Structure formats: C-alpha cells, structure tokens
Amino acid sequence: MIEKFNIHISDDEIKKLHQKITLTRWPDEINDEYWSYGTGMSFLKDLSYEWLNSFDWRAHEDEINKIGSYKFKSNSGLKIHFLHSKSDKEGAVPLIMTHGWPGSIQEFLKIIPIIHRKSKIPIDIICPSMPGFGFSDKPTEKGMNSEKIAKIQHELMCALNYDKYIVQGGDWGATVSKWMAELYPNNCIGIHLNLVIAFPPDNQDPMQGVTENELKLLENFNKYKTQGYGYYEIQRTKPQTIGYSLNDSPVGLAAWIAEKYYGWFDEKTNKLVVTNDEVLSIISLYWFTESAPSSARLYKENGEFGFSFNKVSQPMAGAIFKKDIMIPPKIWAEKIYNVVQWNEYDGGHFAAMEKPEVLAEDIVNFISKLIK
C-alpha cells in the first residue's frame, strides 16, 4: 500500500527543541583548530545559535513535501518513507537512490532537479529512507541489515510498477544498491556508485595493475581508520549506549553528526564540506524523528561490511570523489563489478550535496549508455 505523506512537525516539537538547546550544559575543551579531539566547541556554539535563532525547518519541510513525499507498507510490516519525483514524460527510466549515515533523503534534494534537467532520457527518481531512518518505521527485531533493506526496496519498486530499474548509492546506500543488483538481476539493469567498496584479491599480488595515483588515493582509507573511525566502532558494537545521549541532547547530536561533514582529508581546510543550513536540516530530521539510535543500529546489523563480494553482471559506473573515505583501485572493483564507466572528480563522501552537478552529470551519462 502506498499513500501520500505530508511532513509537518508540530510547533510544540520545535519549541521543545529550542528549549533543549538553551539548556545545554557545555563541557570543557582541549582541542585545536582542526578538530583533532572532535567537534570544535566554538563552531558548535555558533551552529547551535544558528539552529536556535535563524534556521528555518519549515522551509526544508516544504521542500521535501513539494518533491513528492509518500509511505509504503512493506511485507515486513514496516512503513517506508520515500521521495518520488516523476518525469513529466512517458517511458521514464526508474532510478532508485539510497542514502547512507549520517545522511538522509535530504542528500538528494539538490541533485533531483539537476538530474531531470540534464537528462535527455526521462527519469523517475525514487529515494527511500532506509528502515530506522527519518520518517520510515524503526525495526523492532534484530537483523535489519543492508541485504534485507535491499529486499524491501525491491518490493517498493515492484509496488510502483517498475519492473526494470537502475540503482544508485554511496555509503551504506552503496551496499544496499549492490545487494539489489545481486539479488534481482532480472530487474536491476545497472548500478551506479559514488562509494565503491572493493578489497584486494586473495589469489594474486594486490598491487598488480594499481597505478601511482590509485596508491595515493588508498591512503584515504588509512586516514579514515586512524582519524575518523571511532563512531563506526561505537555504532557497530554498542549503538544503544550512544543512542541515549543522541536522543536526549540536540547539541550532542549536532556534534556527533556535524563532525562527519568536516573536511577529514584536507589538512589545510577548516570548515564543513556543505553549508551549516544543510547540516542543520539533516540534524533536525534525526532529532524530530528520534532516529539517531535506530539508524546507528544499522552498523551493528551489518557488522564489518554489510556487503557481498559476489560478482554482479550488470553494467556498473563508479564516480570516484578524491576525498572519499574509501577509494579502491579500478582493478579491484573489476573483480566484483562489470565496470563500464569510471571517472575521478574533486570532492568527498557526500557527493550529492557537495558536487550535485558533477554527480548528476555522471549518473546521466551512465544512464545514456544503458538506454539507447
């Protein structure tokens, strides 16, 4: 069953958020200008002031509703919130785009109209909120991992009468997209990723065929593991423990999420990779839906990878952004994917928000290769 879903957070809930922000008990701090100990307090105080005094949730709420906001009841019993932006032309190609953490459907608000504008081929765009994220229902039992999410999203596509579709994703959305391609080869006709997960082959020299540039990009993963991986281990092992704090303190939630949008891999940059307003919109969504604990559980459910290393046959495109957290050499990816497009760009992990024009162009070019 699919139904229209109009988002409207009550004035009372917004007022309560403001009250909670004003009651923040600030800690002491030992830090530096590059946040080596975590989110900088001066930044966080400024962000909290903006959240309290000038941020307009209603504008973001309206933007989501205008794109097309719906809910789908899956066979699991969970209701899944999704955006559905349809082309005004007949015979549109369905493209399902899956977010990650700490992202949300809001990752795609900028890129949706750009894809429509750039593509000569009509495209219908579907952006689900994964279970436990945003306005989707929260799983009440263990085991809701990327594979099960892929099955629910395929179910959604069938309910929308899309027999053939293209998948797209980054972060956890890349794992869900890979599972959809693997589980439904007769339905998924292509896979586009802006985070490509691939590891060295076991039965040969892993550096054979790897270029000098790719060796440099491999260092991103080492930096991520040593400088930005703490949250992953916490959410993979004890998500409930951190969940109490994230669900009760809006400023604590803001610190936890905003840090992920900080420029990890450019040591000369001391700012977020997207605007404060965009980050506050995502933090607000997590706050109002109380989805920080439930979304963090995806790390526990997925374990180390949430990923299958089985090879898929559908054409695959990798949009490689040079400051992403994981950038495998193309030759490693070819062990898993049928790579037909592989392009490298400036930018980082949140490509749909950081570089929407670039990512949209890459997606459109890929679709044009598939649909002739």
Instruction: Write out pLDDT tens, residues 189-231.
Output: 999 999 999 988 888 888 888 899 998 999 998 888 888 889 9
Domain ranges of the chain: 16-23+33-370
State the average pLDDT over residues 283-304.
Answer: 96
In Å, what is the CA distance from 110 to each residue of 113, 117, 355, 356, 357? 7, 12, 10, 7, 9
* pTM, rounded to two decimals: 0.96
| Set 261, 299, 337, 345: catalytic member | 299
Tens of pLDDT, residue by residue over 244-278, are 999 999 999 999 999 999 865 555 566 899 999 99
Is pLDDT of 129 > 60? yes
pLDDT tens digits along 175-188 = 999 999 999 999 99
pLDDT at 131 over 60: yes
Q: What contacts 135, CB < 8 A, 6 or more positions away? A: 5, 7, 71, 81, 129, 289
Split at pLDDT 50, 70, 90, the class of 151 is very high
Is 81 assigned a catalytic role?
no
Given 124, 171, 324, 362, which residue is catalytic? Answer: 171
- Overall residue count recorded for the chain in this entry: 372
Of 84, 99, 192, 349, the active-site residue reads 349
User: Which fold would CATH assign to domain 16-23+33-370?
Assistant: Rossmann fold (3.40.50)
Question: Is 116 assigned a catalytic role?
Answer: no
* Average pLDDT of every residue of the chain: 95
147 dihedral zone (left: phi>0; alpha: psi -120 to 50; beta) = alpha
Q: Which two tokens stand for residue 56?
A: 């307009």
Q: Tell me, rounded to whole angstroms, the distance of Cα 88 from its chain centroid.
A: 27
Q: Are 99 and 130 in contact (CB under 8 A)?
A: yes
Residue 33 has pLDDT above 90, yes or no: no
Tokens 């957290």 -> residue:
325
CB atoms within 10 A of CB 335: 17
Residue type, 38: G
pLDDT at 263: 67
